Amino acid sequence: MPTPNPFISGLRCKCPRCGIGSVFSGFLTIRPTCAHCGFDLAKSDPGDGPVVFILLIVGSIGCFGLLFTEMTFHPPAWMELAFWLPMMAVLSLAALRPFKATMIALQFTNAASQASNDDGRND
């Protein structure tokens, strides 16, 4: 069975082995196994990797947006904070699932020890 592209299956939050079953059972809870192909997802642990990327990307967007807004429109500080802090929280939460699923798919594709099968291959 050919494995799907890890970036596409990660962004769609699908199983890295079949590309059909969902990786998550809740918002960020990883399923023990894929409902479609039975792949063991319990060993997959992306750790803090997705959070680091999201912090850098969303932080850059938020800082640039805050500076652009300040230099262009000069709104009061409370108005900027009332807009940009919730915006950054929403962007962070929206990006967390796809980034976490992509890290799991990349672990599987690159045969990382956490995501490989018992025999050391990832089929």
Write the pLDDT tens digit of every residue in 17-47: 999 999 999 999 999 999 999 998 888 888 8
Residue 104 included in any domain: yes
- What is d(CA 43, CA 104) in angstroms, rounded to the nearest whole number? 10
Token pair 């069975």 is at which residue? 1
How many structural domains comprise the chain?
1
CA pair distance 32, 61, nearest whole angstrom: 34
Q: Is the residue at 85 inside a domain?
A: yes
Task: Determine if the pTM surpasses 0.85.
Answer: no
Given pLDDT bands bounded at 50, 70 and 90, which one contains residue 83?
very high
Average pLDDT over the chain reads: 89
In a domain, 90, yes or no: yes
- Please check whether residue 27 lies inside any domain of the structure: yes
